[in-house]
Amino acid sequence: MPRKIVKSKFFFEEDFVETIAEVSTEKYKDWENNDKLKVVGKPLSRIDAYDKTSGTAVYTFDVQLPGMAFARILGSPLPNAKLKKINIKKAKDLPGVLDILTSENTPKISWYNNTTLLFDPHVRCEGDEVAAVVAETEQIALEALDLIEIEYDELPFVSAAEDALKDKSVKLHDLGNIVRGKPDEYNRGNVDDGFKGADIVLEDKFTTQIAVHNPTEVHCSVASWVGSKLKVWDSTQGVFAVRNTIAESLNMPESEVTIITPYMGGGFGSKLEAGKYSVIAALLARNINRPVRISVDRKQMNLIMGNRPDSIQTLKAGVKKDGTLTAMTLTSVAAVGAYPNGGGCSGPVRQVYKCPNVKTTDYSVMINAGRARAFRAPGHVQGTFALESFIDELAEKIGMDPLEFRLKNYSETDPISGNPWSTKLLREAYKKGAEAFDWYKKRKTPGSDNGHIKHGVGMATQIWGGIGGPPANVTLKINNDGSVIVLGGTQDLGTGTYTFLAQVVSEVLEISIEKMQVIIGDTSAVPYGPQSGGSITSPTLSPAARDAAEQMKSKIISGASAVLDLPEDQLVYKDAVVYAKNDKSKSISIPELMRKMHEQMFITNGTRSPNPEHYALNTFGVQFAEVEVDTETGKIKVLKIVAAHDIGRVLNWKTCENQFHGGIIQGLGYALMEERILDYNTGKVLNTNYHEYKIPTIKDIPDIEIYVVSTGDTLLSNTGVKGMAEPAIIPTAAAIANAVYNAIGKRMKSLPMTSDKVLNVLYS
Ligand code: MOS
């Protein structure tokens, strides 16, 4: 069959890709019929479920090495200051203290795009690293931190993005406070013309809070040297990214650094990049010639390990009486903390609706507080809250049902590129979700319930990537007994990566899941692969796994052909046995084949094919929310969420539902309670623990119904998988906010929708 060559738009030199790439979908049509699949798509328990629930799974914090010492970090108590004097003598004299690092005795390793150092004598936020102690026990290390004496030159600080934009504001960096020196802008059509053509023009302002990732497992590393070689166990979403940063920081070849992440307890984006703590652990371990475990505590995590930036979003739209959007503009301002990061949230405005004239301006602004990091669907969660609240307002203004209004402005092609989508089943998602939720029956006039408990319903749309692409590899080895070693260029941040890799290989080779040994999260063993972020892990790795397995099947058939002395086209592969088509008595199993071939190990490497050109590639979905608002207490209770999404093929129903539940619950926390509170007078964070920073608990969790309206996206890859971990959280807060409006007839324009804000909106 002729191979159609497609060039990759990403990562590779184009002509290089041309020689190696093929559109795998031509070869792999047989997965189009979901019903034929035996393992893929099924609700299988995780292959590591027992290890995790029994406590035998080894997380970074569980790693125990002979002679291991323990390190902790001292953070700045001030939001902006220069270190005048550091005295470590008392700390050093404490029995059990082994070594101390500060800006005075540590190599100048640049960090955060060269805006600071590993230990910078200028601290720009509370928690910024000023020293690290390694000791015989963690307790001694903590005591020693208290004995380090530092004199600071206190500097004025800035705590809010709007203040940091003012001319007379404190400047965090030479370039000023705006990341990259200017806002991110996007423009299509002509918005002035668009507004002129509108019957109604509406403007409104929405704000969202800073939220902290707060994964269960705190950030930690164990660093160990053997001669010139460094091994680091790290709680990370990207073993290769961490390896590269550590190698670069320590000026070592990548071949001498190994990163291992067998299991980790969540990241949500806060563990996408290497942390300073990992490099600090490596330096300390080298200095004392012993393995070192370092970890932050919950407070440090809340201060400096990342957050979702806040936003002030001003939206303006023009709409015709029939509901047609004629123009939309968005200006957003986000506080991204003390070092550069992206705070833009205009993605949904640019891409969800057909609107021909769109202009967006995103300011990412630095302030003296812990730096933002990508957080589950960065930008889209805050952007969708504002856009989808605003769309509801527009629909009401012209007297249309919110769902009808969205269908009126449905975009059949990608409004950004003009390309068709590989698949877009949002209409089907709207239909499925509305039916399951009983939308048209539950809709009511806003605020029309009698009594102080008011019910309401709302909905919101979601768009995201979650597509992935090359480079990514999966390597397979067949053992002599017919069992399989699967080496995946990835790590499992807790989403079920081990399991889907085993499923895909099992499906193709018809070898049971129990015979799969999946090895991931080890840079010295596995082939290259990307960070687990952007919901790309399964859409990127599953095609590589299928490719490797299909190659392995070909290899087995070709080996059988030689041994049975029959041409390949007269052989069939079934249940890991190769049969002669016309004579079922002639057959050979994999163990027999291996023996005949003198136990030569069959190895294949599968790669992720490039994405198709000239198509837009996205995930879509809708969530419907039903709430109850107590107008006496201001308390919002979410009763039900119905989610209907287009996410391509589902590899495993159980882990898919896990992701939806997690995303929706995290979205509910964002909507109702989660908020990092920074005291403007002191520049300090007031709630750095689970007691004061509220996240949802079991009593807050509503009924959740999940519908997936898609099957495999055959244009996309040989598995047709799109990612769903981020789509799950994107529309939740907006759907809840719209339901609250429907309940009380007053719009909540500021997240989180705490009781005090609800009462304010109701009675002021
Ligand atoms: Mo995520 S923010 O894709 O880890």
Q: Residue 533 Cα, ligand 1 centroid: separation in angstroms?
A: 4
Q: Residue 343 Cα, ligand 1 centroid: separation in angstroms?
A: 14
Average pLDDT over residues 263-285: 97
Cα separation, 399 vs 410, in Å, equals 18
Burial of 19 (0-12, 13-18, 19+ CB in 10 A): exposed
Residue 11 has pLDDT above 70, yes or no: no
| Atom of ligand 1 at shortest range from CA of 533 | 3
| Atom of ligand 1 at shortest range from CA of 531 | 4
Nearest to 124 by CA among 163, 75, 192: 75
Pocket residue to mutate for ligand 1, from 236, 268, 381, 531, most atoms within 8 A of Cβ:
268
* pTM of the predicted structure, to 2 decimals: 0.95
Residue 2 has pLDDT above 90, yes or no: no
Q: What percent of the chain has pLDDT over 70?
A: 96
Residue 611 has pLDDT above 50, yes or no: yes
What pLDDT does 597 receive? 87
| Atom of ligand 1 at shortest range from CA of 374 | 2
pLDDT class for 16, splitting at 50, 70, 90? very low
Q: At what angle do helices 755-763 and 732-744 cross, to 10 degrees?
A: 40
Q: Residue 534 Cα, ligand 1 centroid: separation in angstroms?
A: 5
Pocket residue to mutate for ligand 1, from 536, 537, 726, 729, most atoms within 8 A of Cβ:
726
Q: Residue 267 Cα, ligand 1 centroid: separation in angstroms?
A: 8
> Cα dihedral angle (364, 369, 371, 377), rounded to 10 degrees?
-70
| Tens digit of each residue's pLDDT (9 = 90 or more) over 341-365 | 999 999 999 999 999 999 999 999 9
Cα separation, 131 vs 97, in Å, equals 13
Residue 32 has pLDDT above 90, yes or no: no
Q: Residue 541 Cα, ligand 1 centroid: separation in angstroms?
A: 16
Whole-angstrom CA distances from 228 to 106, 253, 255, 281, 377 are 19, 10, 11, 15, 39
446 phi and psi, to 5 degrees?
A: -55, 130
Run of H or E residues at 684: strand 684-685
Average pLDDT over residues 211-226: 97
Pocket residue to mutate for ligand 1, from 235, 272, 490, 666, most atoms within 8 A of Cβ:
272
| Atom of ligand 1 at shortest range from CA of 269 | 4
Q: Of 128-132, 323-327, 584-588, give the lowest mean pLDDT range.
A: 584-588
Q: Residue 562 Cα, ligand 1 centroid: separation in angstroms?
A: 48
Residue 5 has pLDDT above 60, yes or no: no
| Atom of ligand 1 at shortest range from CA of 726 | 3
What pLDDT does 27 receive? 60
Q: Residue 264 Cα, ligand 1 centroid: separation in angstroms?
A: 14
Identity (one letter) of the amino acid at 290?
R
| Tens digit of each residue's pLDDT (9 = 90 or more) over 535-592 | 999 999 999 999 999 999 999 999 999 999 999 999 999 999 999 999 988 999 999 9
Q: Residue 535 Cα, ligand 1 centroid: separation in angstroms?
A: 7
Average pLDDT over residues 166-195: 97
Q: Residue 211 Cα, ligand 1 centroid: separation in angstroms?
A: 14
Q: How many other CB atoms are found less than 10 A from the CB of residue 112? A: 18
| Tens digit of each residue's pLDDT (9 = 90 or more) over 427-454 | 999 999 999 999 999 999 999 999 999 9
| Atom of ligand 1 at shortest range from CA of 378 | 2
Pocket residue to mutate for ligand 1, from 212, 264, 305, 376, most atoms within 8 A of Cβ:
376
Cα separation, 374 vs 306, in Å, equals 8
pLDDT class for 469, splitting at 50, 70, 90? very high
pLDDT class for 12, splitting at 50, 70, 90? very low
Beta bridge partners of 131: 74, 102
Ligand 1 contacts (CB < 6 A) are 237, 267-269, 272, 374-376, 378, 533-534, 726
451 Rama class: left (phi>0) / alpha (psi -120 to 50) / beta = left
What pLDDT does 83 receive? 98
Identity (one letter) of the amino acid at 621?
G
What pLDDT does 584 receive? 85
Q: Residue 538 Cα, ligand 1 centroid: separation in angstroms?
A: 13
Q: Residue 466 Cα, ligand 1 centroid: separation in angstroms?
A: 10
CA 296 to chain CA centroid, Å, is 21
221 phi and psi, to 5 degrees?
A: -145, 155
Q: Residue 373 Cα, ligand 1 centroid: separation in angstroms?
A: 9
| Atom of ligand 1 at shortest range from CA of 376 | 2
| Atom of ligand 1 at shortest range from CA of 535 | 3
* Residue 660 three-state SS: helix
| Atom of ligand 1 at shortest range from CA of 532 | 4
| Atom of ligand 1 at shortest range from CA of 268 | 4
pLDDT class for 598, splitting at 50, 70, 90? confident
Average pLDDT over residues 719-728: 97
Average pLDDT over the chain, rounded to whole? 95
Q: At what angle do helices 653-672 and 732-744 cross, to 10 degrees?
A: 50
pLDDT class for 25, splitting at 50, 70, 90? very low
For ligand 1, atom 4, which residue shows the shortest CA distance? 269
